[in-house]
Structure 1
Amino acid sequence: MEAGSRLSGVLASLPWRRRGSPGGQAADGEEEGIEGSRAAPARPRRLGWRRVVGLVLLLGVLVAGVAYVEKDRIAPEVADALRATIGDERTARVEGWFFAFEDAVQKVKFRLFGGEENPFETEEVRVSFVARPAARTVVVWAGKRGVDAMPNPDAFLPAPMTFPATRQLRSNPEPGEGSWSTVGLPRTSPADPLMAKTFFRPDPSRPYALVGVLLVDARRVRLRMVAGTVDPGGSRGVKGPGTIPASDVPHLVAAWNGGFKGDHGNFGMVVEGTEYQRLRNGLATVCTRRDGSFVMGEYGRDLVWDPQTMTACRQNAVLLVDRGEVSKRTAEGNDTWGYVQVNSSEFITWRSAIGVTKDGNLLVAAGNSLSAETLARALWAAGAEYAMQLDINSPYVLTALFFPQPDGSVKGERFMAAMPDSPGRFLRTQERDFMYLVVDESRYR
């Protein structure tokens, strides 16, 4: 017994025995260790502050990248949310910072990869359906002796639209720059031009800034204006229809965005006697007449509202081109080109405009990376006698062309491939005002 007790004591003192368990067995099935104790569990590896900062920065870059790619889709919601939280003035400054950042990105992209040389270049072959017009009846007074030969009926048709002379803004124009073309336009052929198009690069410091200009024979169309369901009159409780009447859709040839939101400058709009915003003197204004024509100029100087002869008027800022010259006010700061005390004339962003030539034909223009002055220069180069800016920023600027289909519907295409959004938006109800053209040759005699 004494020997057994001594042996037990010796065994108990050995290091490979587990302590704290009866009979020397490992507790709860734990393995015995040579050191006589269980190995300490590995501590979770903590992220250092450098790793945390790095992950936050990486996440921020990813979020910013996604936001930049999706900016055209989310920009309206973001802008409205900012206006509701920080106010219009601060939001305009944030927009200015964003436009400056976007412009810097565009400059880097152009240095590294170049840019578009022609906003209309496409390899797509387009076949356009145009219904055959009704035959014309030509009455010839024969007199007593009659006539020897029936004259050609085409001799009685109006003269085709004369394209205005353009001005070159650069010493090295790209092919097609400043030259009128009828390719790819609805209801148009070289022999029968309802429309024509060209483009300009008006800013020597930004060769990637391209302005597409659409020229339309004003004798063969009617210009119509539609107030949106929210703007410009929603804040006054005057909502517009926001839609193109179904009867006009088969005759639709083009549509484009209207002007600023109702509260952003309170620029006037009247349609068929409904006042969405009050018309004010000194502002750039376009008005449509009941005879199908339109007029443009400075309100109070060149034109005034006449309910007997006019159907609609829309104002937006001041004239870009006034009496054939670029307006000196294009570089004016404060709220001339916007609605806050910020020099928005220098915002480099998408801008749109309409104008009229000396012959009375319509010009529709839009382009990227523009200031008010460079947009004005492009319209002046296209032959504008008067021109006025419409809306700005890429989510809003869109010109759509509509091609007739055999079933009586129309197919929409963007005027410039780089324009955001779908031309089909003009066939839906719109919150913001817009303008459109329908074919009407009742004055084309």
Structure 2
Amino acid sequence: MVVLLPAAFVSTIALSGPAGSSPLETTAEWARDHGLNWLVTDLEKAQYAADAPAEGGTPDGGIPHAAGVVAGSSGAAAPLTPVATGRPLPGEGVWQTVVASHGRPAVQVTTLRVDPTHTRYLAGVMRLDPRLVRGTLHPGVGEPRGHWRASTSLAGAAGADVAAAFNGGFKLSDPSHNGYYAEGRTVAPLADGKASLVLHADGTADVGAWGSEVRMGPDVASVRQNLLPLVDRGAVNPQCAGGGEAEWGSTVGQAAFVHRSGFGVTADGTEIYVGGPALSVCTLGTILADAGVVRGMELDINPAWVSGAYFHDRPGREPRGYALFPGEQVAPTHYLQPTGRDWYAWDLRRS
């Protein structure tokens, strides 16, 4: 009974999560919500110690050609030069248009090695043109709780114009105390100095330190805070390898090379999402800066939550999704059913 009752209890929790959530993911979320954040973090650290990413080597099959490339569009960005890894491999850092609007690239993607040491792992980088797409912060069914106008999935009409989707930030219960505001409601208080992804009423995004670089105004549609600014004025935060829970959250540690994601904006307002494996806080920041980001932030961490995707419309059917980087563990179909936590979608502008 001592063994079976706890096992049955955990199994019940694992099977009670939103559709599309793995049992492990649901159990971890329940534990964090019930004061066991320390236990989940310790287990993550043990898992990382037993399965740290390998050093050296080359990507299996080289740099992949993106799935779902759109032919005939013009205006692709200049190749991204992977500063940290030196001479690029064939196709590394070359932008490919995967969603177009009126013959112009709305979404472009590329892949590149994550750093000079973990050279077999590839991160995905996604460029979003704010003139052609508009962003929306979507709620999850578990967080934030309550009733919202924005949908919890891309099912039905919500997926009609979708171009891209990706994960939000850390849980709002994380000890880093991140704020959340949407639809005129404050779910978690917005804290000065926190890295904040701000969406305006016109669907454009900005990133910056709350209270100084970005602040509340009548045109602010949503604010999602997460940790401290990672990139500012084009430079990676010099504290990316230091600090701790207050700076980078209750995770496996900022120096651990794990799945991470981030978002930022360039000087001309282009919006950039990065996701991939074997990333530290510093190497994530380096990729954002290499992509031209002038103000950027870390979003979420670990394979169950890092989930960038882009989509092609299929009239009368659900949109077809494509994963951003090789080995992504969260399928694009994750967004076609209600998800447990908040997330972002970028839709094509109608005009």
Query: TM-score band (shorter)?
Result: 0.7 to 0.9
**How has the CA–CA distance of structure 1 residues 119 and 292 changed in structure 2, closer, same or farther, with 3 Å as cutoff?**
same
Q: Does 1:75 align with 2:19?
A: no
What SS does structure 2 have at the residue aligned with 1:356? strand
In the TM superposition, what are the counterparts of 1:380-395 in structure 2 within 5 Å?
380-395=289-304
Corresponding residue for residue 271 of structure 2: 362
Please identify the structure whose Cα radius of gyration is greater: 1
Corresponding residue for residue 59 of structure 2: 115
Query: Per-residue CA shift, 1:199-233, capped at 9, x if unaligned?
Result: 232422211232110111111111100121222x3
Q: Does 1:98 align with 2:47?
A: yes
Shift of 1:288: 1.2
Is the Cα contact below 8 Å between 2:82 and 2:287 reproduced in 1?
no
Shift of 1:337: 4.9
Q: Does 1:171 align with 2:74?
A: no
Is the Cα contact below 8 Å between 1:119 and 1:417 reproduced in 2?
no
Q: Which amino acid aligns with 1:221?
A: V
**How has the CA–CA distance of structure 1 residues 282 and 422 changed in structure 2, closer, same or farther, with 3 Å as cutoff?**
same
> Quick one: distance in 2 between partners of 1:119 and 1:274?
44
Q: Does 1:266 align with 2:177?
A: yes
**How has the CA–CA distance of structure 1 residues 333 and 94 changed in structure 2, closer, same or farther, with 3 Å as cutoff?**
farther
Shift of 1:83: 5.0
Shift of 1:314: 0.6
Shift of 1:436: 0.4
Corresponding residue for residue 340 of structure 2: 431
Runs of 4+ in 1 over 6 A off after TM superposition: 127-130
What SS does structure 2 have at the residue aligned with 1:204? coil
Corresponding residue for residue 60 of structure 1: none
- RMSD of equivalent CA atoms: 3.0
Aligned counterpart for 1:215 among listed residues 123, 127, 130: 127
Is the Cα contact below 8 Å between 1:187 and 1:403 reproduced in 2?
no
Higher share in strand:
2
Shift of 1:413: 1.9
> Quick one: distance in 2 between partners of 1:346 and 1:96?
12
**How has the CA–CA distance of structure 1 residues 248 and 77 changed in structure 2, closer, same or farther, with 3 Å as cutoff?**
closer
Shift of 1:160: 4.7
**How has the CA–CA distance of structure 1 residues 294 and 115 changed in structure 2, closer, same or farther, with 3 Å as cutoff?**
closer
Aligned counterpart for 1:279 among listed residues 190, 201, 208: 190
Is the Cα contact below 8 Å between 1:286 and 1:315 reproduced in 2?
yes
> Quick one: distance in 2 between partners of 1:274 and 1:245?
25
Is the Cα contact below 8 Å between 2:124 and 2:274 reproduced in 1?
yes
Higher share in helix:
1
Q: Which amino acid aligns with 1:319?
A: P
Is the Cα contact below 8 Å between 1:214 and 1:365 reproduced in 2?
yes
Q: Does 1:404 align with 2:301?
A: no
Alignment length (residue pairs): 327
Is the Cα contact below 8 Å between 1:256 and 1:397 reproduced in 2?
yes
Aligned counterpart for 2:104 among listed residues 182, 186, 192: 192
**How has the CA–CA distance of structure 1 residues 273 and 202 changed in structure 2, closer, same or farther, with 3 Å as cutoff?**
same
Q: Which amino acid aligns with 1:368?
A: P
Is the Cα contact below 8 Å between 1:255 and 1:399 reproduced in 2?
yes
Shift of 1:127: 8.1
Aligned counterpart for 1:226 among listed residues 138, 150, 167: 138
Corresponding residue for residue 87 of structure 1: 36
What SS does structure 2 have at the residue aligned with 1:345? coil
Shift of 1:75: 3.4
Corresponding residue for residue 228 of structure 2: 318
Shift of 1:274: 1.7
**How has the CA–CA distance of structure 1 residues 229 and 73 changed in structure 2, closer, same or farther, with 3 Å as cutoff?**
closer
Query: Per-residue CA shift, 1:248-273, capped at 9, x if unaligned?
Result: 42111111111111101331111111
Q: Which amino acid aligns with 1:75?
A: L
Is the Cα contact below 8 Å between 1:225 and 1:312 reproduced in 2?
yes
What SS does structure 2 have at the residue aligned with 1:429? coil
> Quick one: distance in 2 between partners of 1:218 and 1:162?
14
> Quick one: distance in 2 between partners of 1:324 and 1:239?
38
Query: Per-residue CA shift, 1:314-369, capped at 9, x if unaligned?
Result: 111111111111111211332145544x7721222100111111110111110101
**How has the CA–CA distance of structure 1 residues 339 and 292 changed in structure 2, closer, same or farther, with 3 Å as cutoff?**
closer
Corresponding residue for residue 300 of structure 1: 211
In the TM superposition, what are the counterparts of 1:144-183 in structure 2 within 5 Å?
160=75, 163=78, 166-182=81-97
> Quick one: distance in 2 between partners of 1:347 and 1:279?
28
Query: Per-residue CA shift, 1:55-79, capped at 9, x if unaligned?
Result: xxxxxxxxxxxxxxxxx94532453
Identity within the alignment, %: 26
> Quick one: distance in 1 between partners of 2:205 and 2:280?
27
Is the Cα contact below 8 Å between 1:181 and 1:198 reproduced in 2?
yes
Runs (5+) with no aligned partner, structure 1: 1-71, 131-158
Runs (5+) with no aligned partner, structure 2: 1-20
Shift of 1:385: 0.9
Shift of 1:293: 2.1
What SS does structure 2 have at the residue aligned with 1:378? helix
Q: Which amino acid aligns with 1:209?
A: Y
Corresponding residue for residue 26 of structure 1: none
Corresponding residue for residue 201 of structure 1: 113
Q: Calculate the TM-score normalised by the size of structure 1.
A: 0.66
Q: Calculate the TM-score normalised by the size of structure 2.
A: 0.83
